[in-house]
Amino acid sequence: MIKIINAKLNLGLNIVRKREDGYHDLETVFYPIGKYNGTPENPEPFCDILEITPSDKTEFEFSGRKVDCPLERNLVYKAWKVFKESYKDLKDYRIHLEKHMPDGAGLGGGSADASGVLLMLNELSGMPFGRERLAQLALTLGADCPFFIYNSPCYAEGVGERLELIDVDLSGWWCLLVKPEVSISTKEAFAGITPCIPLTSLKDIVRLKVEDWQAQMVNDFEESIFPRHSRLKDIKENIIKCGAVYAAMSGSGSTVFGIFKRKEIALEASERFDGCYVAVCKL
């Protein structure tokens, strides 16, 4: 079984309060990107590829972009382990991940891989779990993971685990992704953040025309990260100058994305960011 593993964007993100446990409550809108990867119109190898095949022993193989962590910390392995602990009759499989998405990009690549493993093992095992149970298992792996179980536009609250499917359709639009050689830790991302309940919920803002988003939708992480990494701010401004209708940083970065009306404009813009990871994909 082979599955194309797509990424996500945070169309906007608000940090609304700091909790007693030290974590922060947020609101965000997740949107899947890369679902058309591999089609004639969008052939660029942007998404990860996960292959799970029967084997006489359980084994893991990784190719493509190197994931610099030991196996026991890899989310693909962790997902297999979580599923096996919940489904004792799991057979042996060879699990091969071909990695294309960059790490530390705010695109949810590792979370998407983990949820992909859960979904595929569930299907190969005869569907012992429904999506709600799979989402519960995914949450033990990371706050972004449950979104990829549903893999449809969602409004999220809490640390990102409380999901509500919403009607946001960007069909026909194109996305430019630009990631410079910048690494941002979770600690750094939250440094300088002042939690605040927004006057207008993101759930309401995304119902507006895409052309109206730039004036009203924000990613609160930009306020703390841009002063430390001016390159990201410059990239966002340049993406807008290149014709994007909306641009923002995804999650806690360090990818900045732009939404374009036409593929040709997005491709032309993609040529202006030397030294960065760049991808163009259909939404």
pLDDT tens-digit readout, 44-61? 889 999 999 999 999 999
Which of 16-25, 61-70, 134-143 is the least confident region? 16-25
Is 99 one of the catalytic residues? no
Q: What is the pLDDT of residue 80?
A: 98
What is the pTM assigned to this prediction? Answer: 0.94
Going by pLDDT thresholds of 50, 70 and 90, the confidence category of residue 279 is very high
CA distance 156 to 4: 24
Q: What is the pLDDT of residue 44?
A: 82
| Longest CA–CA separation in the chain, Å | 57
Q: What is the pLDDT of residue 168?
A: 95
> C-alpha angle with apex 247: 160 to 191, nearest 5 degrees?
50
Task: Considering only residues 199 and 147, tell me which one the structure prediction assigns the higher pLDDT.
Answer: 147
> C-alpha angle with apex 37: 275 to 26, nearest 5 degrees?
75
Q: Which range in 24-28, 42-46, 187-191 is most confidently predicted, on average pLDDT?
A: 24-28
CA distance 161 to 48: 23
Residue 26 has pLDDT above 90, yes or no: yes
Instruction: Kindly report the average pLDDT of the chain as a whole number.
Output: 94
Q: Which of 88, 83, 59 is nearest to 71 (CA)?
A: 59
Of 144, 179, 220, 236, catalytic: 144
Please enumerate in sequence order all residues whose Cβ is within 8 A of that of 67, keeping only pairs 6 or more positions apart, or say none. Answer: 74, 99, 103, 110
Output phi, psi for 223, to 5 deg: -65, -35
Q: What is the pLDDT of residue 85?
A: 98
Q: What is the pLDDT of residue 227?
A: 93
Q: What is the pLDDT of residue 66?
A: 87
Q: At what angle do helices 131-139 and 109-124 cross, to 10 degrees?
A: 140
Is 274 one of the catalytic residues? no
Please enumerate in sequence order all residues whose Cβ is within 8 A of that of 77, keeping only pairs 6 or more positions apart, or say none. Answer: 60, 71
Residue 86 has pLDDT above 80, yes or no: yes
Question: Which tokens is 151 given?
Answer: 């893999």
Q: What is the pLDDT of residue 160?
A: 85
Domains and CATH numbers, the chain: 2-165 (3.30.230.10), 174-282 (3.30.70.890)
